[in-house]
């Protein structure tokens, strides 16, 4: 959805057209006097639609959402993902498209908090694989949208071609993911048998006897305070990188190139996701204890690219490509190392609650960046 943000805001089908063929873009009016090629609405609007429902879900999670069974949560996540593709694909207006983005946000937020909590039932190494998977998902989403649209497929048909992904999510959870070994198994044979059973044929884990569901408010507050050294740097990292992604990408436009403005935007998103995937998959090679260093570097990236938007001193788009790749590397490294450090430092009875609580960090940073990117867009796009 973020890769499609420029198209969602700038290209919409004529309201009277009921065919399944996209007749082409209808430009939304924008300020022609500006030195930037701006949409009338910033791509940060798509970011906010994509992140605010996730923020709400994650805020509610520590206060009872995590008590709901895992399987229904996964089912709702898959259905919302499919609904988002269909609604945006057949939308005739920006408002309806943003409604589809909201469905994608519900799917993403509910899915992330569900699976991160679920990692507490498995060996700690699964956090690395989870992080790699989320990085791969971002790269697959951005690369598939870029590749299919570059190949000539319309944005509508590109979105519809993604409908198999929610189905794979449900199949992988109910049929491929094995049930975790019991906490107090009767023997090695029982443990091995339980671990080989898919969740569809066994009882899905719902809660550990001494996990987050049984913690008092005082215990939850104590755990939350202990997480702040991890949460604050991750909030800053995601604030800086998504301010860049949804506030500045659209303004980093190089004219007189073979790539159109929309194509440049898609390349930015794809390269960012490539960096995220590489660093989220790097935990076995490189572990970072002090994630605040990554926050400082990402804030420097933001300041540097903001200066380039204002002064236009970078001569080539390929320099922007390198910076965006580096930006993705910092963001992915901050994510995977934060959750790895939390898994190492929290006790077994607190880990499920800690994972569910800490995942609000990236969402909070992204929400703040989207809120600030909107007025920045309006300010810059009204400059002559």
For the stretch 325-363, pLDDT in tens is 999 999 999 999 998 999 888 888 888 888 888 888 988
> Per the domain annotation, does 187 fall within a domain?
no
> Per the domain annotation, does 304 fall within a domain?
yes
> Per the domain annotation, does 148 fall within a domain?
yes
> Per the domain annotation, does 14 fall within a domain?
no
pLDDT at 28: 38
> Per the domain annotation, does 162 fall within a domain?
yes
pLDDT at 278: 92
pLDDT at 42: 63
> Per the domain annotation, does 53 fall within a domain?
yes
pLDDT at 243: 92
> Per the domain annotation, does 208 fall within a domain?
no
pLDDT at 200: 57
Q: Which domain holds residue 67?
A: 1-6+39-176+215-383
Backbone angles phi, psi at 42, to 5 degrees: -65, 150
Assign residue 337 the CATH number of its domain: 1.20.1250.20
pLDDT at 247: 83
> Per the domain annotation, does 135 fall within a domain?
yes
Number of domains in the chain: 1
pLDDT at 383: 67
Which of the residues in the chain have pLDDT under 50? 12-33, 183-196, 208-210
């Amino acid at each position: 959805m973020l890769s499609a943000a420029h198209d969602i805001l700038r290209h919409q089908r004529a309201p009277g057209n009921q065919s399944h063929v996209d007749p082409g873009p209808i430009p939304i009016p924008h300020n022609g006097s500006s030195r930037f090629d701006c949409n009338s609405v910033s791509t940060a609007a798509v970011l906010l639609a994509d992140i605010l429902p996730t923020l709400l879900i994650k805020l509610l999670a520590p206060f009872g959402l995590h008590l709901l069974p895992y399987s229904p949560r996964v089912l709702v996540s898959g259905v919302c993902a499919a609904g988002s593709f269909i609604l945006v694909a057949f939308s005739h207006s920006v408002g309806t498209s943003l409604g589809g983005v909201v469905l994608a946000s519900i799917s993403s937020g509910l899915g992330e908090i569900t699976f991160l909590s679920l990692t507490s039932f498995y060996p700690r190494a699964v956090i690395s694989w989870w992080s790699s998977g989320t990085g791969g998902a971002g790269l697959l989403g951005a690369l598939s949208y870029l590749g299919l649209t570059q190949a000539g497929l319309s944005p509508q048909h590109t979105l519809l071609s993604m409908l198999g992904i929610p189905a794979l999510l449900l199949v992988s959870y109910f049929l491929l993911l094995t049930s975790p070994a019991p906490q107090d198994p009767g023997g090695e044979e029982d443990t091995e048998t339980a671990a080989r059973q898919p969740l569809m044929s066994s009882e899905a884990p719902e809660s550990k006897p001494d996990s987050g569901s049984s913690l008092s408010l005082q215990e939850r507050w104590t755990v939350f305070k202990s997480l702040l050294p991890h949460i604050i740097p991750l909030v800053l990292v995601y604030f800086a990188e998504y301010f860049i992604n949804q506030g500045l990408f659209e303004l980093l436009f190089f004219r007189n190139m073979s790539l159109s403005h929309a194509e440049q935007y898609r390349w930015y998103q794809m390269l960012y996701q490539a960096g995220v995937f590489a660093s989220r998959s790097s935990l076995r090679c490189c572990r970072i204890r002090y994630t605040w260093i990554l926050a400082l570097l990402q804030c420097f990236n933001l300041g540097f690219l903001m200066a380039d938007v204002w002064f236009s001193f970078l001569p080539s788009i390929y320099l922007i490509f390198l910076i965006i790749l580096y930006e993705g590397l910092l963001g992915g490294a901050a994510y995977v190392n934060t959750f790895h450090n939390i898994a190492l430092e929290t006790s077994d009875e607190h880990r499920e609650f800690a994972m569910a609580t800490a995942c609000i960090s990236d969402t909070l940073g992204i929400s703040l960046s989207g809120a600030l990117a909107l007025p920045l867009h309006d300010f810059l796009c009204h400059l002559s």
